[in-house]
Amino acid sequence: MSQTGFLQDLFSSIAERGRRLLETGGEPDGNTDLADLAESLYSSLGEASGVAIADRLLRAYEAREPARRLAFFKLLADRFGIDPEEAVAAAQAYRAEPTPEALERLHHAAEPRRQELIRRLNLAPGGTAKLVRMREDLLAALPDHPELRGVDMDFRHLFQSWFNRGFLEARRIDWQTPAAILDKIIRYEAVHEISDWDDLRRRIDPPDRRLYAFFHPRLVDEPLIFVEVALTVAIPATIASILAADREPTDPAEVRTAVFYSISNCQEGLRGVSFGNFLIKQVVEDLRREMPNLKTFVTLSPVPGFAAWLTAERKREGGLVDAEAAAILAGLDTEGWWTDEARARELEPVLMRLAACYLTRARNGAGKPLDPVARFHLGNGARLERINWLGDRGRDGLRRAHGLLVNYLYRLEEIERNHEAYANTGNVAASPAVMRLARSRPSREAQTVTA
Amino acid sequence: MSQTGFLQDLFSSIAERGRRLLETGGEPDGNTDLADLAESLYSSLGEASGVAIADRLLRAYEAREPARRLAFFKLLADRFGIDPEEAVAAAQAYRAEPTPEALERLHHAAEPRRQELIRRLNLAPGGTAKLVRMREDLLAALPDHPELRGVDMDFRHLFQSWFNRGFLEARRIDWQTPAAILDKIIRYEAVHEISDWDDLRRRIDPPDRRLYAFFHPRLVDEPLIFVEVALTVAIPATIASILAADREPTDPAEVRTAVFYSISNCQEGLRGVSFGNFLIKQVVEDLRREMPNLKTFVTLSPVPGFAAWLTAERKREGGLVDAEAAAILAGLDTEGWWTDEARARELEPVLMRLAACYLTRARNGAGKPLDPVARFHLGNGARLERINWLGDRGRDGLRRAHGLLVNYLYRLEEIERNHEAYANTGNVAASPAVMRLARSRPSREAQTVTA
Amino acid sequence: MSQTGFLQDLFSSIAERGRRLLETGGEPDGNTDLADLAESLYSSLGEASGVAIADRLLRAYEAREPARRLAFFKLLADRFGIDPEEAVAAAQAYRAEPTPEALERLHHAAEPRRQELIRRLNLAPGGTAKLVRMREDLLAALPDHPELRGVDMDFRHLFQSWFNRGFLEARRIDWQTPAAILDKIIRYEAVHEISDWDDLRRRIDPPDRRLYAFFHPRLVDEPLIFVEVALTVAIPATIASILAADREPTDPAEVRTAVFYSISNCQEGLRGVSFGNFLIKQVVEDLRREMPNLKTFVTLSPVPGFAAWLTAERKREGGLVDAEAAAILAGLDTEGWWTDEARARELEPVLMRLAACYLTRARNGAGKPLDPVARFHLGNGARLERINWLGDRGRDGLRRAHGLLVNYLYRLEEIERNHEAYANTGNVAASPAVMRLARSRPSREAQTVTA
Amino acid sequence: MSQTGFLQDLFSSIAERGRRLLETGGEPDGNTDLADLAESLYSSLGEASGVAIADRLLRAYEAREPARRLAFFKLLADRFGIDPEEAVAAAQAYRAEPTPEALERLHHAAEPRRQELIRRLNLAPGGTAKLVRMREDLLAALPDHPELRGVDMDFRHLFQSWFNRGFLEARRIDWQTPAAILDKIIRYEAVHEISDWDDLRRRIDPPDRRLYAFFHPRLVDEPLIFVEVALTVAIPATIASILAADREPTDPAEVRTAVFYSISNCQEGLRGVSFGNFLIKQVVEDLRREMPNLKTFVTLSPVPGFAAWLTAERKREGGLVDAEAAAILAGLDTEGWWTDEARARELEPVLMRLAACYLTRARNGAGKPLDPVARFHLGNGARLERINWLGDRGRDGLRRAHGLLVNYLYRLEEIERNHEAYANTGNVAASPAVMRLARSRPSREAQTVTA
């Protein structure tokens, strides 16, 4: 009775039996009525029929062409929310007489009906994976349909509970890992593309390279997030030094630094359900135990929002870019500027200063750093350690960050303090060098810049 | 990076670090202030400090002598419920303008604060197991403290989510199973006691004996529930025929019937979080796949409430026991009556008829069968197949059911229908033979009898 | 205490300790004296020092450039054989008085000393793998150094004992298999090259494709031999139909035939230690159990010796090629003849007939079929079922067999009989169709042809 | 395709098929002609029929009552030895012309035919285990049938090759180990009996207790040998201090000493095939790696031959027991002497001195220590460290060694030297204290005493 397989089979077999009960005549297709199925599912009492309806609903949903899926989300928004009158009545009843039963009624009245619906969908064969894909559709629709935000909140609420970190399994991925998983690692790498199996092998097989991923028992062989680690002597400044095909592996005895040089979320449908934070801390713990020599835990990270921010800043009246800087920055508009040594030398101090400003002072609406990668690591309690000039000469690196890369430093004794300061006040922990760079000139930049 | 162990270590290590942050000076003990810790935990922002406080709170709780634990539940009831005014306000606000944000506020206002508190406790090292034990204490206190029912509802609500069946692992337990688990099987068997390792072996090692259990990833090596199965030719009538130390194993080629002769819940703290239903169906599926010969799936079950009900019924005016029956039933008061063949022959028709009445008509306040085992199997969709005279001559069997045992029959094609009828109308599915027995005499018994 | 790793560590650690005992000053290199080490090893009493010497000897051997390794084999031949005088004396002593002790002495005197030496080398860390590689060198040297045949016999004798089939583990290789092993499958495939990971995946991932390999506990992650299987409806005639990248997988319900279309020995150093035979029978058993639908077990095999034999035959006076055939066969000398339909049509009957003759009548010095693949399958008890015209238009297939492929049929009820007939008399089991083809013309070919 | 099970199935299935080929009509029984089967097996060519005959022979053998099994060994001795004439001829031929072929013929002529026969029996389903049991019978018969010694040599020769340590797997046995294996540990413990599962648990579950065993891939779930280890602060003097049911576990931080207090060979049929030596060294390595605190590796061992030797010595004229000692030793003949403190105090110096003499000087015919446990540990390179007065007050301990226990010390840096000295000269390594004890009095004992 192999376990995962067993449950899989069982859900299938229950669904199968229920399906016969439904006698629905034929496979669901893109025209199957989802509203009907949703109501049946919500009110079903039987277990087998419930699983069968859930299975049918999910298959009908997937059979629809994407454009027609939106209707299902509208249904969830309109007909599976809560009844405001009932909520008010239940709240008042509880205020009048706060019994456990009244509390339960209130709790129930205040929970959108779609939460129970989604919970029941989750019991269909492969339900969890299908719901994660469904939320991908929802997220794609959200910008044009803000009225669906409430639906998304419920998805995220449930996912947060189902994917709570107590269920996550950290696994080391290496050359002994099944190909089925490695294949997905190649596909999901989102920062520094893995070009082929040889490239993959160079990242997981040598003794100074590691890759760790999180898995969840209901998403078999599907990594949720993974991090690639290089073990080095010193903090690296360029990604090329990490990924070079012909580099010499570092002697384990000389390793002092663990570099997290790529972190990829694999499931778009789990956006906002965070575990990257937790993965990094796990890997830090694990590596420390395994190699007491390791003294420094640091990232080599992209700055994905810098170029877009800079473009806007160059246009902004009274922004951080004065006339002199503007003249120099014009050099960025020449294709291949980075190969022109003189030009690069001229650009370096300006870009470095502006990047330091961007990372330490540019904020989003919530008062947090504008750069998403900065937000992630600073939110974890890391500190902004160093900005590296032309650290990434790849196409994406140049396009999005004019080639800059950043090191965020994880110091165990500071993580908690940094994290709390960041959570409470939005404070950005940065090394003295970065602070100096950000302040270097001119004085009027002192205020926070909100995007 | 072994997974469970790894997470265990990690939680421990995070807790460890957080603990240092707390600088609380010393181990928590029975006098540590739980209210303070609960408030700190509820409002903590940092991850490490959160885990550390959770760990400290749980250890302080366990250090208390049982009598002083009650105060903690009162704290949860009094200070970690909801604010009725806020709930009313949030409900009204949502009614006025039903935005997603207003919905979220309402949802939050209607959820007792202790739910979040318990979720955070769950992240402490070994948190899940400790919370299950904590609820054991709570359940023990409940009869004398009905005001804690609301707290219990929240525990159950969360447990239902954490122990949802998607996370349960069914494993076959046999002579190849680690002793650490077998040891617990011996301890947890609640129906037909396992006297020692030899007795255990007779129940799991022969080819015509099976034992299956459910496990959960966060409760390592702790069975949640298990079922013992005998593979036989025909439906058995006595437990002695199953458990006899010197019986001959049934030839696998002749096996036609799978008998579920003992089902034990292992975790009192998970009471009301049901998965027995699901385990039985899994085992049925599994056995059918493995042995296509199997035609009949049936239990051999105790009737734990019969003797108590009969005692009351004998005293009840106008009850089911007329004078003639009463005279015969007086024979039960003689110690060892079952060894007196003549007396037993006289008692048999009376007891059998009354047992059939008890099982098919005696109801609890919710309109469901009074007998808890009947409730379980009928609720699963089984039907009451046969009542067996002196099927269990063991001490408990005689004391609780005057030696009767019952077979409930699981017919796959009827399960769903029976289950829905039972859920909707409380209907008890029974074989014609049992129905006849229940009706056999006298006519005035036709009405339902509520205990 | 993970087992393989543990032993590995232990051997290393013992070797390590012994190494210190040796105080040999420095790593062995290509100039280290192997004769000295061999004598020390043969006479060593201590376990640690024995392992250390063995380790040192193997490392010194591997440090030598290939040309200088020959000396070691000569040493084994000259100084680690047996003493003929002693053997005669021991044999006479035993004849005079056949005691167990005399027998033991005789047994010992008749066993070349190098057998014990090789056994001791085997206990060095990684010893087995190193000895397999060593024999590769020996086999390469053998044609020019027939005096080493005795040494090779002893290697083979010991390998046959160490790799006896009781120790072999059959494993299915699929997309869940660790990449480290898949990587080797790609490298070792010797019949139909695997071009890349996508090609590999097409051979192991679809439901109608299988790959099975044998492993040995002392050669971790090293396949010894593997077989690729296609599940089809009918017996296929071309390799292209099996390997096409865009083919549709066969519906499992329609599968009737298992085709062994590629068998690769992975370890040249194990030549003559046969287990392919056994692997095929295992796979047949396994597939039969799993899919009772399977009725036919057949190969799609190359004919590697045909073109070479034909070249010789064309030149041979009074051979199987008469003037008319010779004229037609001249067509083979035009590059790309197989794309010229008219020419191919003309060649077909001649080549098919000659191939049938080659396979059924051409013999090697031992009276067995000349073609090594035919020898293998016929020796296993298969029968020569069909010859397929232009079954393999790949470069190797055309060069070695003018594009012909052969099906050998494994019928369980005939295997044993065929095998024994073949073993006793060299009889070639062939289908009536192939027999007819071989006899088709002209009559003077009736005699066996020895190469 | 689970591996072990797979091979098992396969052997069974091949045997099955072969069996049908044999058409032998019915199961073999105690009267089946073994001679016929042996000859058929030796000359069989087919694989399936070979396995079938081997299977049949082994079953026929096991069906015989023990007394009639002897005939089979006689058959092996008389008809499956070597042909002395052929051996002499082959030896002479080789001397005349030392070709590889002549060598092979000689090698073959000098190997008893029963070796090949036993190798073929080994391929039957469960063959290895059956041959191990067969040798048990043979060993039991040997004392009365010295003419079978040659047969036994061949069994041992083959077992030594099959059970060479490269195939042994060391596993830690603990409370997580399958009950099927623990059950055998209870049964096989030969030094300090395990009374029940609770006793077993006390030996494997506490953090300061360990048990390690060797397994072989062909003997599934059958331990070959195991060693029980206690982790302590100092070297213990009594077994009671180790086995006390109510002892407090030692704090892991204080552990300095690993005590091997019980070593049990499990397979009588493997007598003389030594691996205990290797197991101890593995465990030492493993523990050292795991707990760098461990400084001392020592046994607490029985002295099984002491009492018997002493009885003989007391009768021997001019032995080590002078009149004064003899008078004191008479005290041993009073039942319960060890509870009489005065008597015990009187006996102590005499017994301790004589035990030291026994262990350091009493030799067997091969010039090795008379005591088998001493032979084992001294042969491994341990040194005799301490003799403990009344270390074992158990029935066996008193009966066989008058309650004495011995510590043998394994010092890694001395093991190799001690082992070689012992192997070369029979030298017994002993601590100065033991040496002094042995020499203490009187002077005439200086010579070696041969039993």
D188 pLDDT exceeds 70? yes
What's the pLDDT score for residue D276?
79
> CA-to-CA distance for B87 and B95, rounded, in angstroms?
12
pLDDT band (50, 70, 90) for residue D327: very high
What's the pLDDT score for residue B15?
54
> CA-to-CA distance for B107 and B105, rounded, in angstroms?
5
D353 pLDDT exceeds 90? yes
pTM of the full structure: 0.85
Note the ipTM here.
0.83
Domain closes at, from B162, B181, B208 = B162
Task: Give domain status of residue A312, yes or no.
Answer: yes
Question: D88 with C91: CB under 8 angstroms?
Answer: yes
Report which of residues C319 and B154 the model is more confident about: B154
Whether residues D142 and D189 fall in one domain: no
pLDDT band (50, 70, 90) for residue C447: very low
Determine whether the interchain pair B180/D178 forms a contact, defined as Cβ–Cβ distance below 8 Å.
Answer: no
What's the pLDDT score for residue D164?
82
DSSP 3-state of D231: strand
Task: Give domain status of residue C82, yes or no.
Answer: yes
What's the pLDDT score for residue A17?
53
Q: Is A141 on the interface with C (CB under 8 A)?
A: no
What's the pLDDT score for residue A446?
39
Give mean pLDDT, residues D117-123.
93
Tokens (6 digits) for A94: 């509880």
Shortest CA gap D149–chain C (Å): 6
- What residues pair up with A410 in beta bridges, in sequence order? A297
- pLDDT, tens digit (0-9, with 9 covering 90-100), for C432-442: 999 999 987 65
Determine whether the interchain pair D197/B176 forms a contact, defined as Cβ–Cβ distance below 8 Å.
Answer: no
Alpha carbon distances (Å) from B42 to A435, B70, B127, B158, D390:
35, 20, 16, 16, 62
Report which of residues A356 and C425 the model is more confident about: A356
- Exactly one of A301, A402, A419, A440 is catalytic; name it: A301
- pLDDT, tens digit (0-9, with 9 covering 90-100), for A51-103: 889 999 999 999 999 889 999 999 999 999 999 999 999 999 999 999 999 99
Task: Give domain status of residue C48, yes or no.
Answer: yes
Give mean pLDDT, residues A341-349.
95
- Exactly one of B192, B262, B301, B402 is catalytic; name it: B301
Question: C208 with C255: CB under 8 angstroms?
Answer: yes
pLDDT band (50, 70, 90) for residue D16: low
Q: Is D183 on the interface with B (CB under 8 A)?
A: yes
What's the pLDDT score for residue D444?
41
pLDDT band (50, 70, 90) for residue C10: very low
Looking up residue A366, the CATH number of its domain turns out to be 3.40.630.150
Whether residues A312 and A295 fall in one domain: no
Looking up residue A121, the CATH number of its domain turns out to be 1.20.140.90
What's the pLDDT score for residue C328?
95
> CA-to-CA distance for C260 and C283, rounded, in angstroms?
10
Whether residues C202 and C118 fall in one domain: no
What's the pLDDT score for residue D10?
47
Give mean pLDDT, residues A5-25.
49
Shortest CA gap B165–chain A (Å): 8
- pLDDT, tens digit (0-9, with 9 covering 90-100), for C110-120: 999 999 999 99
Looking up residue C258, the CATH number of its domain turns out to be 3.40.630.180
Q: Is D126 on the interface with C (CB under 8 A)?
A: no
DSSP 3-state of B2: coil
SS (H, E, C) D369-412: ECCHHHHHHHHHCCEEEEEECCCCCCHHHHHHHCCCEEEEEECH
Task: Give domain status of residue B226, yes or no.
Answer: yes
- pLDDT, tens digit (0-9, with 9 covering 90-100), for C46-94: 766 788 899 999 999 999 998 899 999 999 999 999 999 999 999 999 9
- Exactly one of B192, B216, B377, B402 is catalytic; name it: B377
Alpha helices (H) along D2-126 = 3-22, 34-43, 47-63, 70-79, 84-96, 100-109, 113-121
Determine whether the interchain pair C111/D112 forms a contact, defined as Cβ–Cβ distance below 8 Å.
Answer: no
What's the pLDDT score for residue D17?
53
C chain contacts of residue D1, beta-carbon cutoff 8 Å: 170-172, 212, 286
The closest CB to that of C95, out of D88, D103, D217, belongs to D88
pLDDT band (50, 70, 90) for residue D318: confident
Report which of residues B322 and A5 the model is more confident about: B322
pLDDT band (50, 70, 90) for residue C416: confident
Give mean pLDDT, residues D214-229.
93
pLDDT band (50, 70, 90) for residue C1: very low
The closest CB to that of C1, out of D92, D171, D277, belongs to D171
Share of chain D above pLDDT 70, in %: 91
Neighbours of chain B (3+ CB pairs under 8 A): A, D
Q: Are strands D449-450 and D362-363 parallel, antiparallel or unpaired?
A: parallel
Alpha carbon distances (Å) from B205 to A217, B197, D180:
30, 11, 9
Determine whether the interchain pair A110/B110 forms a contact, defined as Cβ–Cβ distance below 8 Å.
Answer: yes
Shortest CA gap A445–chain B (Å): 31
Whether residues D376 and D273 fall in one domain: no
Whether residues D92 and D238 fall in one domain: no
pLDDT band (50, 70, 90) for residue C39: very high
Alpha carbon distances (Å) from A412 to A284, A383, A407, A418, D291:
9, 11, 16, 10, 27
Question: C90 with C71: CB under 8 angstroms?
Answer: no
Shortest CA gap B3–chain D (Å): 17
By mean pLDDT, which of A209-213, B320-324, C70-74, D223-227 is the weakest? B320-324
Half-sphere exposure of A175 (CA within 13 A, CB side): 18
| B377 included as an active-site residue | yes
A chain contacts of residue C175, beta-carbon cutoff 8 Å: 178-180, 183
Domain closes at, from B299, B316, B351 = B299
Q: What is the mean pLDDT of chain A?
A: 89
Shortest CA gap A139–chain C (Å): 32
Determine whether the interchain pair A178/C176 forms a contact, defined as Cβ–Cβ distance below 8 Å.
Answer: yes
Whether residues C30 and C120 fall in one domain: yes
D chain contacts of residue B179, beta-carbon cutoff 8 Å: 175-179, 182, 197, 201
- Exactly one of C216, C377, C440, C443 is catalytic; name it: C377
Question: D105 with D82: CB under 8 angstroms?
Answer: no
Give mean pLDDT, residues A390-398.
95
D448 pLDDT exceeds 80? no
Task: Give domain status of residue C445, yes or no.
Answer: no
What's the pLDDT score for residue A443?
40
Q: Which amino acid is at C157?
A: H
Question: Which of D175, D186, D202, D222 should one mutate to test binding to chain B, selecting the residue with the greatest count of B CBs within 10 A?
Answer: D175
pLDDT band (50, 70, 90) for residue C166: confident
C chain contacts of residue D91, beta-carbon cutoff 8 Å: 84, 87-88, 90-92, 110
Domains: count for chain B:
3
Query: How many H helices and E strands in chain B?
Result: 20, 9
| A107 included as an active-site residue | no
D281 pLDDT exceeds 90? no
Q: Which residues of chain B have pLDDT under 50?
A: 1-11, 19, 21, 23-24, 443-451
pLDDT band (50, 70, 90) for residue D12: low
Domain closes at, from B139, B162, B185 = B162
Task: Give domain status of residue C448, yes or no.
Answer: no
Share of chain D above pLDDT 90, in %: 74
Whether residues D196 and D124 fall in one domain: no
Whether residues C138 and C177 fall in one domain: no
C chain contacts of residue A187, beta-carbon cutoff 8 Å: none
- pLDDT, tens digit (0-9, with 9 covering 90-100), for B278-293: 889 889 988 998 898 9
Task: Give domain status of residue D327, yes or no.
Answer: yes
- pLDDT, tens digit (0-9, with 9 covering 90-100), for A273-323: 878 788 898 899 889 988 989 999 999 999 999 999 999 999 998 888 999
Give the N- to C-terminal CA distance of chain A in Å, as an integer.
56
What's the pLDDT score for residue D451?
44
Q: What is the mean pLDDT of chain C?
A: 89
Q: Is D91 on the interface with C (CB under 8 A)?
A: yes
What's the pLDDT score for residue C44?
83
What's the pLDDT score for residue B317?
87
Whether residues A92 and A193 fall in one domain: no
Question: C170 with D1: CB under 8 angstroms?
Answer: yes
DSSP 3-state of C351: helix
Q: Is A198 on the interface with C (CB under 8 A)?
A: no
pLDDT band (50, 70, 90) for residue C276: confident
- The residue ranges of DSSP E strands in D202-307, in sequence order, are 209-215, 225-232, 257-265, 296-299
Whether residues D50 and D133 fall in one domain: yes
Give mean pLDDT, residues D39-53.
84
Whether residues D330 and D407 fall in one domain: yes
Question: Which of C2, C171, C172, C175 should one mutate to test binding to chain A, selecting the residue with the greatest count of A CBs within 10 A?
Answer: C175
Determine whether the interchain pair D84/C104 forms a contact, defined as Cβ–Cβ distance below 8 Å.
Answer: no
A49 pLDDT exceeds 80? no
What's the pLDDT score for residue D13?
55
Domain coverage including residue D331: 306-439
Question: Which of B186, B194, B196, B197 should one mutate to test binding to chain D, selecting the residue with the greatest count of D CBs within 10 A?
Answer: B197
Whether residues A226 and A112 fall in one domain: no
C-D contacts (CB, under 8 Å): 182
Give mean pLDDT, residues D96-124.
94
Q: What is the mean pLDDT of chain D?
A: 89
A chain contacts of residue C195, beta-carbon cutoff 8 Å: none
What's the pLDDT score for residue D277?
80
Tally of CB atoms within 10 A around C323 = 6
Determine whether the interchain pair D197/B197 forms a contact, defined as Cβ–Cβ distance below 8 Å.
Answer: yes
> CA-to-CA distance for B379 and C2, rounded, in angstroms?
47
Task: Give domain status of residue D295, yes or no.
Answer: yes
